[in-house]
Amino acid sequence: MRILGQLESAGLVRRDGDDVVAVDERLLALLKQDAGHRPRTGPEKFLRRDGTIDRYPTNHGERVALLRFIAGRAVAPAERLAEGELNERLAPFDPDTARLRRYLVDFGILERTASGSEYAWPDNARG
């Protein structure tokens, strides 16, 4: 309620009985816009609204879940991708595609093929 008092003191809201009414039209528009926003859960809580990675979780399980989430959107189960093509698909999630690609391999989400020239899901972990 302290914040509400500050908003009221600033003239941004006013009390109308038990209700609080936004006075500033810009604030009202922001509140309406945010009303449909639901807090993200699971791996998506580590993504910005534009889909880029906000931060990599320090918790192992959460990091694996985030990496699986991203790989599932970037690479189809039976696909084999050259490094450049994989980088193009990972770029919308993290501009540092080398870091993201390395995490995907280090955590066993994707693997390099026997030739070393392509990336794919491991046979036991597709999709």
What are the tens digits of pLDDT across the range 45-90?
A: 999 989 999 999 999 999 999 999 999 999 999 999 999 999 999 9
My answer on whether 9 and 51 are in the same domain is no
My answer on whether 109 and 61 are in the same domain is yes
Q: How many domains does the chain have?
A: 2
Q: Which domain holds residue 19?
A: 2-35
Tell me which residue has tokens 């990496």. Answer: 67
- Computed over every residue of the chain, the mean pLDDT equals 86
Contact 68, 74 (CB under 8 A): no
| DSSP result, 112-127 | E-TTSSEEE--GGG--
My answer on whether 15 and 75 are in the same domain is no
The reported pTM is 0.68
**Residue 107 pLDDT:** 98
pLDDT-wise least confident of 1-10, 66-75, 111-120: 1-10
My answer on whether 56 and 103 are in the same domain is yes
**Residue 37 pLDDT:** 59
My answer on whether 13 and 48 are in the same domain is no
